[in-house]
Amino acid sequence: MARRRRRKNDELNEGCLLILNKLFNRKKEIQYAGPTHDNPLPYGKRDHFLSAAEISFYHVLKGVLGDDIELLCKVRLGDLFYVHRPHENKAARNRIDRKHIDFVLCEAKTMNPILGIELDDSSHERQSRKDRDQFVDDVFNKAGLKILHIRAARGYVPEDIAREVSQAL
């Protein structure tokens, strides 16, 4: 009889502990149910991945680069740079996570980044954009990666772009 009561009490205690554990260690489980008629996925393909100025610049830049350099477009800073002690520096990681650079030049054999290029259009004259640009420049400098700012235009002279990139490298 005592043995039966002890087992029942152990089961009750275990039950209480499990309930408390569930309450305090509750993790939301997100399940992907897929799109439904009532709740379709809210995504669509953008009409323009690059602006007209970026496309123009891309083709000129691609034409002046040698085979030993690869050209990447719209690269997230979070993919280019890492944050020291990321668990302690979450705010620093968040500051670069949603920012991107217009173009990145990489060594073709290793895909090691060697230069970031930012096209500066009229939006870069706003104070908020100047502050953002200064922060991005500081990140590049701290990490030891060069950045080149080029004024956005409707057209570009290949020789001028080749000279600016060569000087930056």
Q: Where are the domains of the chain?
A: 52-168
Q: Which amino acid is at 158?
A: P
Give tens-digit pLDDT for 39-76.
778 888 888 888 888 888 999 999 999 899 999 999 99
**Residue 167 half-sphere exposure, CB side, CA atoms within 13 Å?**
9
**Structural Rg of the chain based on CA atoms:** 27
| Residue 125 DSSP one-character state | G
Q: What does the pLDDT read at residue 95?
A: 85
Are the C-beta atoms of 152 and 53 separated by less than 8 Å? yes
Q: How far apart are CA 98 and CA 115, in angstroms?
A: 19
Tell which residue, 113, 109, 108, has the closest CA to residue 169. 113
Q: Give the ranges where 25-114 is alpha helix by DSSP (H).
A: 52-64, 77-80, 90-97
Q: What stretches in the chain show pLDDT beneath 50?
A: 11-12
Give tens-digit pLDDT for 106-116.
999 999 999 99
Q: What does the pLDDT read at residue 19?
A: 57
Tell which residue, 67, 58, 51, has the closest CA to residue 117. 58
Are the C-beta atoms of 67 and 48 separated by less than 8 Å? no
pTM, full prediction: 0.71
